[in-house]
Amino acid sequence: MLGTIVNTACIAAGSLVGALVKKGLSEKYTRTLFNAMGLASLALGAATFTNNLPKSEYPVLFILSLAIGGVIGTALDLDGRVKRLVGKQTGEGLAKGLISACLLYCVGTFSIVGPVLSALNGDNTFLFTNSTLDLVTSMVFASTFGMGMILAAPVLFCWQGAIYLIAILFSSSPLLRGTLVNELSTVGGVLIISSGLSILDIKDCKTLNFLPALLVPVAWFLIKSLL
């Protein structure tokens, strides 16, 4: 869990620094940072997608995942429920920033593979690398959206902690040795791109409605392992 603890601390520290910087920024520079975060999300999402899709054994699985997950998420109105809940506590702008940050921090390859490697091999390299990236990213997010971005830190801790515990419980399962991580990262890359489009006000795809898409590859591999 050391890598996850360091990653969480880096996001918290970066958010504090970024919030201090925000106080001296005018609206013009804040808008520029919004655009920078949107473009960065598009670039990172595209990189995650293109790096993992060629490794997939089932190239169409991400399409099915998005379709099935999107229908489930829309039926449950996940995007609307979360935005209303977070928006009441923090404001609409910060809600958008938190949702985008949590997706960026949590569904990237490093944040999914890192806890698995840490649990199975005691290797925290991916998580330490992710910590460095998130330190810088959290500074920019907080300088754009404010101190409330620190709330993304406990979300990351719970996410990576859950993956870490699952990896320990299923350490002998072939699921963690196969392409499941690649499939999850491929879907995650699309979600990050969707988040970037929202930040740039190009298209609100209601990204959170697609979160159940991350469960479809897990269900597919579980069913496959039982056959």
Reported as a single tens digit per residue, the pLDDT across 186-224 is 888 898 888 888 878 898 888 889 989 988 988 888 888
Reported as a single tens digit per residue, the pLDDT across 66-123 is 999 999 999 999 888 877 776 665 556 677 778 888 887 887 667 877 888 788 778 8
Q: Report the pLDDT value the prediction gives residue 216, as an integer from 0 to 100.
A: 92
User: How far apart, in whole angstroms, are the C-alpha atoms of residue 119 and residue 179?
Assistant: 18
Q: What is the 3-state secondary structure (H, E, C) of 27-56?
A: HHHHHHHHHHHHHHHHHHHHHHHHHHHHHC
Q: What is the pTM of this model?
A: 0.74
Residue with tokens 């940072």: 33
Reported as a single tens digit per residue, the pLDDT across 5-53 is 999 999 999 999 988 887 766 777 777 877 887 888 788 889 889 988 9
